[in-house]
Structure 1
Amino acid sequence: MFDLMQQVRLCDLHFKHDPHTGLKAIIAIHSTKHGPALGGCRFIEYPNTDQAVKDAALLAKGMSYKAALADIPQGGGKAVIMKPKNLKDRRALFEAFGDFIEELGGRYLTAVDSGTTSDDMDIIAGRTRFVTSTTLSGNPSPYTAQGVVAGIKSAVKHRLQRTDMQDIHVAIQGLGSVGQSVAEHLAKAGARLSVTDIDAEKVEAVCDQFKATPIAPEDFFSLDCDVLTPCALGNVVNASTISQFNCKVIAGSANNQLSDERWGHALHERNILYAPDFAINAGGLIFASMHHRHMDDSAIAKQVDHIGVTLSDIFTQSEHSQQATNVIANKLAEAKLYIRGNQASPHSQHQWPQEKGHAVSNPHAVH
C-alpha cells in the first residue's frame, strides 16, 4: 500500500468501515497544495480491496493534475465506496459516508461519479458541507462534455487542419450523460457519428436522435474513423488495443485512458494524436469548483472552453519536442504541483462556503 502511495505521490489515504450500514469506503487525497482536494465518489463493485485502493489512488492523482492544468484552486482526491452485493439502506450508507467526509475537516470535497447521483449528494449534504453536485448545485456532466468537445475541436484543428467538424467521423464509446451530451454537440456541429454502449437501448436512442451509426463494442477500437472518443471507464489504451487503432485522434472523457504511460509514446510513434484525459475532461471539475465558490455561469463556461487552448499548447509542445502528449501534460501539471513542494495550502481546510439552500444537520459541522 505504501509502495502505491509513493508511486503516485499520494498525500494520504483514509479508510472507513461501518458494519451497521455496510459502508466500506476509501478516500485518497493526492494533494492539497493549491486547495482542498476535490473529486467524485465512485459507488461500484470491486473484486477486492486492493483494486479499490488502486482505483482511488490513481484517480486522485488524475484529479490533482486536472486541477493544476485547469488553474483551479483545488487539490486532487477521490472517494471509492465498495458497493455491497446486497444493499439494504442506501440512505443510511451515504449518511455514514457523509460523516466520514466530515471527519476529515475540509481536506476533501466530494461530488458525483460513477454509480452516484445528485440525490446521493443531497443525503451527504445533510451530514457535511464538504459536498457539491447536489440537486441544487447542478449536474457537472454537461460541462465535462463541453470541455471534451472543445478538446476534440482543438485536436481536429491540429491533426487534420480543420476548423469545423462537418463530416468528421467520430466514434463514441459510452453513452452515459457525458457521452450523450458529446454526441449531441458533435451532431449539431455536423460530425458523422458512430456509437457503442453495453446498453442497447442507449445506442438505439442516440442513433435515432442524432442519425448515428451503431457499432458493436468489440469493433470500437479498430474502427476506421477520424476521432476515437472513449467516454466509459478507463484503461482503453493497453497492450491488447494499441495495435488495433485505426484513427487519427483519441480524445474522450474517460479517466486513466492509458493503462501504462508507455502507450502514450506508442500512440505518438503511430502519429495518433492523444488528448491527455486529465486535460480534456476537466470541465466537470471546473464547474464543481467554480459553482461551489458561487461564480457565475459565463465565467464557468469561459474557463471550460479554455480546455481547447490548453490542449492546443500541449499538442504544439509535443510536436516541437517530439515527446508524447501525455509526457508534456504530466510535465506541465507536475511543474505546478511539485516544484515548490507539496505542502498543504493554508486554504486546504475550512474555506468552503455553505451551498445555498442546504442546511447542515450534523452538529459537529466545521464552519
Structure 2
Amino acid sequence: MKITEQSFSSYIFSNYTNDTTHFSQKGHEQVVYFQDQATGLQAIVAIHDTTLGPALGGVRFFEYQDEKEALRDVLRLSRGMTYKASIAGLDVGGGKTVLMKQKRTELTEPLLRKYGDFIDRLGGHYITAPDYNTTMEHMVYIAKSTRHVVGLPLALGGSGDPSEHTAYGVYVAMKAAAKKTFGTDNLAGKKIGIAGVGKVGYCLAQLLCQAQAIVYVADICSNRLQAITAACKVEVVAIERLHNWPLDIYAPCALGAVLNSETIPMLNCAVVVGAANNQLANQGEDGKRLLERGIVYVPDFLANAGGLINAVTELKTTSIDLVKQRIEQLYTICLDVLNQAQATTRPTQEVAQEMAIARIEKIKNAQLCR
C-alpha cells in the first residue's frame, strides 16, 4: 500500500481511538500525522508517555513499505524512549517521529523547517532530536521554526553529536554484562562483533580497540568499513555471517529486529549488548529464546541510553563531567537488571521494562495524590 494524499490530512491530531489494538497495547497518549504537499513531508509523531516530562525522541528518515509499517515502527520506538528515559532516571517522557522517505523526498531546508513548524504547534509536549538518517545539521534547520529541538551543534549552544555518548553507554553496559558473565569487566582479549559501524558503531569500535578487545565489524556500506579499518585494528566479517561468528559479545548497532526466531538459534556468543533500537523482533518471545539459550542480553533501551542522557543537557545546562558520570551509572543499573533477571529466571527485557514502568507509576500516583 502506498501512502496517498487521501491517507493524510495536512494537520491531524489523533488519539488513536479507531485502532483499539494498538491503543490498548501500546498505551500512547497521542499519535499525530503531518503532511505538506509543497515539500513532500509525510510524518508521524508518536507521544507515548509524558508522566516524567515532555516526550523526547529522535526523528527517523526511512523508506517504509507502507504507512502501516511506519506506524508500527514509530509506536515501538516511542515506547522504547519512555522506558529508556525512565530507567536512566531522566525527567522526560517518550516520543518519536518517522519521516517517510519517498522516491523524490529529500531532507531539504524547506521540508525540515515545515516539520519544525508542525512540532512547534504541539506546544512543547514533544521535543525532537537526531536519529537514523538525521543529523545535527538537520536540527539547525528545524530550530529555525521551533525551540523544541535538541541535538544542536556545540557552537550553537547544543549538546553536539550524541554518537560518542551513545557508544560510551553501550561500552559501559558491555562492561557490566562482562562482569556478570565472565566475572570481570576487563574486555581485553574478548572477541566482540559490531554489526553496523555508522557513527555509534564506529565510536564503539574505537573504545573497544582502546580496551584491547578483539574486534570484528560488519556493515552493508563499504565506505564505513574502509573508515573503521583505517582507524582501528579490526577484522571485517560479512554482515550475514556476524550473528553466528564465534564471539564473546555480539553488538547490534544498526537497525532493529535482528534478534528473532531465525537468528537467535544461530548466535554463537555469550552476551548481546548493542546500540540498535528494538533489537528483539518479538519482545516477549525473543527475550525468552535468549534466556533459554543462556545468552545474557542487555535491553537495548538501557544499553543505548547515553545519547539521550547527553541530549537532555540542552534542556538544563549540565557539565560534560556530570554527563559522563550519569552514563557510567548505567553500569550499576545493568547489573541490577541482570541480577534480578537471574534471581527470578525471567528475560532481562521484561525485568528492565518493569523497573522503568514502576518509576513512572510511582510518580503518576504521587501526582494524583496532590
Q: CA deviation at 1:204?
A: 2.7
1:100 aligns with 2:118: yes
Give the aligned partner of residue 200 of structure 1: 222
Q: CA deviation at 1:259?
A: 0.7
Among 127, 130, 140, the residue aligned to 2:162: 140
Give the aligned partner of residue 353 of structure 2: 330
Equivalent positions of 1:117-196 (< 5 A) are 117-135=135-153, 136=156, 137=158, 138-196=160-218
Equivalent positions of 1:339-354 (< 5 A) are 341=364
CA 201–88 in structure 1, closer or farther in 2 if over 3 Å, else same: closer
Instruction: Check whether the contact 1:170–1:194 (CA below 8 A) recurs between aligned residues.
Output: yes
- TM-score if structure 1 supplies the norm length? 0.91
In the aligned structure 2, how far is the partner of 1:104 from the partner of 1:36?
A: 11
Q: CA deviation at 1:2?
A: 3.6
In the aligned structure 2, how far is the partner of 1:155 from the partner of 1:128?
A: 40
Equivalent positions of 1:173-322 (< 5 A) are 173-261=195-283, 262-322=285-345
In the aligned structure 2, how far is the partner of 1:87 from the partner of 1:263?
A: 35
In the aligned structure 2, how far is the partner of 1:102 from the partner of 1:244?
A: 46
Give the aligned partner of residue 60 of structure 2: 42
Q: CA deviation at 1:334?
A: 1.2
Structure 1 residues 326-350: Cα deviation after superposition (integer angstroms, max 9, x where no partner) = 11101101112235658999xxxxx
In the aligned structure 1, how far is the partner of 2:349 from the partner of 2:107?
A: 42
What is the number of equivalent residue pairs in this alignment?
345
What fraction of aligned residue pairs are identical, expressed as a percent? 37
Give the aligned partner of residue 25 of structure 2: 7
In the aligned structure 2, how far is the partner of 1:101 from the partner of 1:18?
A: 13
CA 131–343 in structure 1, closer or farther in 2 if over 3 Å, else same: farther
Instruction: Check whether the contact 1:234–1:256 (CA below 8 A) recurs between aligned residues.
Output: yes
CA 39–89 in structure 1, closer or farther in 2 if over 3 Å, else same: closer
Q: CA deviation at 1:189?
A: 0.4
Stretches of structure 1 lacking an aligned partner (at least 5 in a row): 346-367
Instruction: Check whether the contact 2:252–2:258 (CA below 8 A) recurs between aligned residues.
Output: yes
Give the aligned partner of residue 360 of structure 1: none
Stretches of structure 2 lacking an aligned partner (at least 5 in a row): 1-18
CA 304–260 in structure 1, closer or farther in 2 if over 3 Å, else same: same
Q: Using the TM superposition, name which of 30-39 and 199-208 deviates more.
A: 199-208
Give the aligned partner of residue 12 of structure 2: none
Q: CA deviation at 1:207?
A: 2.4
Q: CA deviation at 1:324?
A: 1.3
Instruction: Check whether the contact 1:118–1:133 (CA below 8 A) recurs between aligned residues.
Output: yes
Structure 1 residues 266-286: Cα deviation after superposition (integer angstroms, max 9, x where no partner) = 111111000000111000111
The one-letter amino acid paired with 2:134 is T
Among 58, 61, 82, the residue aligned to 2:79: 61
SS in 2 for 1:235: coil
CA 47–156 in structure 1, closer or farther in 2 if over 3 Å, else same: same
SS in 1 for 2:240: helix
In the aligned structure 1, how far is the partner of 2:287 from the partner of 2:91?
A: 28
What's the Cα RMSD here? 1.6
Structure 1 residues 74-97: Cα deviation after superposition (integer angstroms, max 9, x where no partner) = 000001111121136711111110
Instruction: Check whether the contact 1:33–1:344 (CA below 8 A) recurs between aligned residues.
Output: no
The one-letter amino acid paired with 1:309 is T
Q: CA deviation at 1:46?
A: 1.0
Among 104, 110, 114, the residue aligned to 2:132: 114
In the aligned structure 2, how far is the partner of 1:323 from the partner of 1:58?
A: 21
In the aligned structure 1, how far is the partner of 2:196 from the partner of 2:366?
A: 38
Instruction: Check whether the contact 2:52–2:363 (CA below 8 A) recurs between aligned residues.
Output: no
Structure 1 residues 116-169: Cα deviation after superposition (integer angstroms, max 9, x where no partner) = 111110011010000011123111111100100000010011101123111100
Instruction: Check whether the contact 1:267–1:273 (CA below 8 A) recurs between aligned residues.
Output: yes
Q: After TM superposition, what 4+ stretches of structure 1 lie above 4 angstroms from structure 2?
A: 339-345
Instruction: Check whether the contact 2:51–2:363 (CA below 8 A) recurs between aligned residues.
Output: no
In the aligned structure 2, how far is the partner of 1:44 from the partner of 1:296?
A: 33
Q: Using the TM superposition, name which of 262-271 and 66-75 deviates more.
A: 262-271
The one-letter amino acid paired with 1:119 is E
In the aligned structure 2, how far is the partner of 1:309 from the partner of 1:342?
A: 26
Instruction: Check whether the contact 2:41–2:99 (CA below 8 A) recurs between aligned residues.
Output: yes
